[in-house]
Chains A and B, each alone.
Chain A
């Protein structure tokens, strides 16, 4: 049953919720017993090693390794497919491994090509 299958995971959610319920009071208690002084507006500036910060905190930032994020989106999904195959490997006939070899070859080849392209800085 779908409901039972989903119900198995309720303990994970319970654990998540318990951590939230148990840890949020730590922040609340800390806020209650700790001093709060708004003496100086400089105190609430972002930390920049003693300097008064200039410019925006959230700026456009050149992420020099952007292709890796793009590669992650593709290969994360492909890697998860391997688990569907791996967990049923003992039940399927041996000949069914051949298409999977093709899949692995495509995956490996594509990854090598993407890595080669990501090394060529001039093209992106």
Chain B
């Protein structure tokens, strides 16, 4: 019979215990206390129930149920929450992860396959988590003579640029990370970073396939940026604003796709090209140039680029919804918060919790707006995913010809449609709105 710890000595056990306690106390004093002081000194603390939130009140919030919701609500009002969780990174990453799974499953159904099936009990629902674990435990191989700092930084920069793009998308009234007056121009500025990051990654790999793929990506993104930019002045003219929240709010009666279908079609096609999706996936053409500019990326680097790609896809779909489909506007289908819960509190059997302060955590408009936005975005994402199962890949010269001749012509037609609508008095002052 074996002993669990044959060389056990009580003195060494106590010594290791004391060692650990010493290091914990040291780190707490050197890092924890300064952090508390910095937070108290720099961050503006909210006033809750008539008293300023001190560390004592913040750390004992679990003990007092009347303080939980106000603390949570005060945290939700901060920029940090917006960046990290709701209209920002967490929300977008969740939708992006969902998109990856739905894409794999939907493509499988289109091609009469089963798709992810075994990972997770139901229809392979844990496949994504399994893929993440696999990617993070794989070896990262960097090709010899690669430009290492740039090669390491490119995937992270790709995700970061996609996240900066997400920052401009308004999800519900008032719920946007960066509510700026020149939001649309900001979006164009951020889109301009993707070709640079792509060509940097491709050039630093010191390999031929990534190089060819990177050049293709550069051409494609750069030449489709012109139709992308030219297809949107129509919306800006009719709205008279570059603020994306105002553009979304201006479509409470009609979404602009009713009046500017040409612009919407041009924008959608350029969106497919900017996202490098079939039929425009020349930069990653797997039957010609292995995986294009992703060839030398291995392990988690590839995973990060995938995450960035799908964040970008969500951001483009959100932009389409905000510009043409009316953003958060839609019928009010979320029921209002029950009033008796606000006045009487919750009664569950013998337990009665009194009326909690700050209970409607989200307003009805915000919940409904988010629901509408997510439904419309899911619809647009579906139509972005659909061509992958249907269309073949087109040639480079056909792509450039399409972008430069046909789409730009249609974009000019769209500008004149918008001008005609304004000057014929259909829309604008004295018109429908």
The residues of A with any CB-CB pair to B shorter than 8 Å are 5, 8-9, 11-20, 22-24, 26-27, 29-31, 33-37, 41, 43-49, 53, 57-59, 61, 63, 65, 68-69, 71-72, 75-76, 79-80, 82-83, 85-91, 94, 97, 104, 108, 111, 115
Decide: A76 and B236 in contact? CB cutoff 8 A: no
Decide: A12 and B178 in contact? CB cutoff 8 A: yes
Which of A43, A97, A115 meets B405, CB within 8 Å?
A115
Q: Is B272 an interface residue (CB 8 A)?
A: no
Alpha-carbon distance A5/B136, docked complex (angstroms): 40
Q: Is B75 an interface residue (CB 8 A)?
A: no
Could you list 6 examples of A-B contacts with CB < 8 Å?
A: A19-B163, A44-B141, A46-B207, A65-B396, A68-B223, A90-B429
Decide: A27 and B139 in contact? CB cutoff 8 A: no
Decide yes or no: A58 and B206 within 8 Å by CB, A8-B178, A15-B177, A27-B140 being known contacts: yes
Decide: A34 and B137 in contact? CB cutoff 8 A: yes
Stretch at the interface among B22-30, B154-162, B340-348: B154-162
Q: Is B230 an interface residue (CB 8 A)?
A: yes
Decide: B136 and A29 in contact? CB cutoff 8 A: yes
Which of B139, B190, B296, B412 meets A34, CB within 8 Å?
B139
Decide: A12 and B155 in contact? CB cutoff 8 A: no
Which of A31, A53, A65, A80 gathers the greatest number of chain B CB atoms within 10 Å?
A: A65
B116 to chain A, nearest CB (A): 22
Q: Is B417 an interface residue (CB 8 A)?
A: no
B131 to chain A, nearest CB (A): 13
B412 to chain A, nearest CB (A): 6
Decide: A30 and B156 in contact? CB cutoff 8 A: no
Chain A residues with Cβ under 8 A from B167's Cβ?
11-12, 15-16
Decide: A23 and B160 in contact? CB cutoff 8 A: yes
B126-165 CB contact bits vs A (8 Å, 1 = yes)?
0000000001111111111100000010011101111110
Chain A residues with Cβ under 8 A from B161's Cβ?
16
Chain A residues with Cβ under 8 A from B299's Cβ?
30, 34
Decide: A19 and B136 in contact? CB cutoff 8 A: no
Chain B residues with Cβ under 8 A from A29's Cβ?
136
Chain A residues with Cβ under 8 A from B178's Cβ?
8-9, 11-12, 15
Decide: B139 and A57 in contact? CB cutoff 8 A: no
Decide: B300 and A30 in contact? CB cutoff 8 A: yes
Which of B88, B142, B295 meets A44, CB within 8 Å?
B142
Chain B residues with Cβ under 8 A from A85's Cβ?
233
For the A-B complex, the count of residue pairs with Cβ-Cβ distances under 8 Å equals: 207
Decide yes or no: A12 and B233 within 8 Å by CB, A27-B300, A34-B299 being known contacts: no
Alpha-carbon distance A115/B408, docked complex (angstroms): 11
Alpha-carbon distance A33/B134, docked complex (angstroms): 11
Alpha-carbon distance A22/B166, docked complex (angstroms): 15
Decide: A57 and B211 in contact? CB cutoff 8 A: yes
Interface positions of B from 161 to 204, Cβ below 8 Å from A:
161-164, 166-168, 177-181, 184-186, 188, 190, 203
Decide yes or no: A97 and B419 within 8 Å by CB, A30-B299, A37-B139 being known contacts: yes
A42 to chain B: closest residue by CB: B144
Alpha-carbon distance A110/B369, docked complex (angstroms): 44
Decide: A61 and B211 in contact? CB cutoff 8 A: yes
Decide: B159 and A30 in contact? CB cutoff 8 A: no
Chain B residues with Cβ under 8 A from A89's Cβ?
237, 240, 422
Which of A9, A26, A48, A90 meets B136, CB within 8 Å?
A26
Alpha-carbon distance A18/B89, docked complex (angstroms): 8
Chain A residues with Cβ under 8 A from B184's Cβ?
83
Decide: A15 and B164 in contact? CB cutoff 8 A: yes
Interface positions of B from 287 to 324, Cβ below 8 Å from A:
290, 295-296, 299-301, 303-304, 307
Q: Is B76 an interface residue (CB 8 A)?
A: no
Decide: B88 and A15 in contact? CB cutoff 8 A: yes
Decide yes or no: A19 and B89 within 8 Å by CB, A9-B180, A27-B304, A87-B236 being known contacts: yes
Decide: A58 and B400 in contact? CB cutoff 8 A: no
Alpha-carbon distance A85/B188, docked complex (angstroms): 17
Decide: B141 and A9 in contact? CB cutoff 8 A: no
Interface positions of B from 382 to 433, Cβ below 8 Å from A:
396-397, 400, 404-405, 408, 412, 415, 419, 422-423, 428-429
Q: Is B241 an interface residue (CB 8 A)?
A: yes
Decide yes or no: A27 and B206 within 8 Å by CB, A12-B168, A35-B139 being known contacts: no
Alpha-carbon distance A8/B161, docked complex (angstroms): 18
Decide: A83 and B233 in contact? CB cutoff 8 A: yes
Decide: A82 and B137 in contact? CB cutoff 8 A: no
Alpha-carbon distance A13/B167, docked complex (angstroms): 9
A114 to chain B, nearest CB (A): 9
